[in-house]
Homo-oligomer: A and B are copies of this chain.
Amino acid sequence: MAPQSAPRTARARARDELSREIKDAARRQLAEHGAAGLSLRAVAREMGMVSSAIYRYFPSRDDLLTALIIDSYDALGTAAEQAEAGARRGDFPGRWMAVVRAARRWALARPQEWALIFGSPVPGYQAPSDTVDPAARIPLLVLRICSQATAAGHSPPPGRRPMPRPVRSDMKALGQIVAWQLSEADLARAVLAWTELIGSISFELFGHLHGVVRDYEPYFDYQMRGIGEDLGLVP
């Protein structure tokens, strides 16, 4: 939070550099052997250090994992935001498709990192609160696109069925957090779209559609385009 007031000493700089190198080595390990196969000793070996030295930088294996999780959320969020920024502002379906395609591309390039953040959580592990801001970047981006689309007069098909009171309450709270005026029904649709996005990519990565969908890219595009329509992004 508060910036390091003192000028960063050589020691501190070396420490940060080494922390980064450790994370890089760990990420390489992760990509090859998965989260379960991440070994502090192997990381230390790759860096020519002794295993105990790692503990000077990360007090436990889980802390290293947490750092990697935050980095992954941030990298994914950045990828999505950059792709979205490249689309014409008024082209709401295009912005949505840019986000989902960037997410899928990122996932295909780093399946283990994707599994790290969207796969099964490790049982004893409680995600620290530092992770929620990076994790919220994509859903917020989706909400922003929806909000600007409705502001531009692109309204989704009107909600057909009544929304139970607890759901309405949750969506109202969500609407107050993001401040933009979206109806509760539209907010619920957006959350569903986000779930669908993550679910579709995970299904491809985890092989749940093996033998059903052979050519995944057009399938993904087709489904996501339909979801974009359901979101009311297209007039």
Enumerate chain A interface residues (CB-CB to B < 8 A): 32-37, 112, 115-116, 118-124, 127, 132, 135, 160-161, 163-167, 169-170, 173-174, 188, 191-192, 195-196, 198-200, 202-203, 206-215, 218-219, 221-223, 225-226, 229-230
Contact = CB atoms under 8 A, between A and B. Distances in A.
A219 B204 CA distance: 26
Contacts of A120: 34-35, 115-116, 119-120, 206
Contact of A225 (B33, B127, B161): B161
A210 B135 CA distance: 11
Contacts of A135: 208
Classify the interface of chain A: helix, strand, loop or mixed.
Answer: helix
30 contacts: A34-B124, A36-B122, A36-B123, A118-B206, A118-B208, A121-B206, A127-B207, A132-B211, A135-B208, A160-B229, A166-B214, A166-B215, A167-B218, A169-B215, A170-B212, A170-B214, A173-B214, A174-B212, A188-B219, A188-B223, A191-B209, A192-B226, A195-B199, A195-B200, A195-B203, A196-B196, A196-B199, A198-B208, A199-B199, A202-B202
Contacts of A199: 195-196, 198-200, 202-203
Q: How many copies of this chain does one complex carry?
A: 2
A20 to B, nearest CB: 24
Nearest to A139: B212
A25 to B, nearest CB: 17
Contacts of A225: 161
Contacts of A230: 230
B221 A164 contact: yes
B164 A218 contact: yes
Contacts of A203: 195, 198-199
A32 B34 CA distance: 22
Contact of A166 (B115, B198, B219, B223): B219
A70 to B, nearest CB: 15
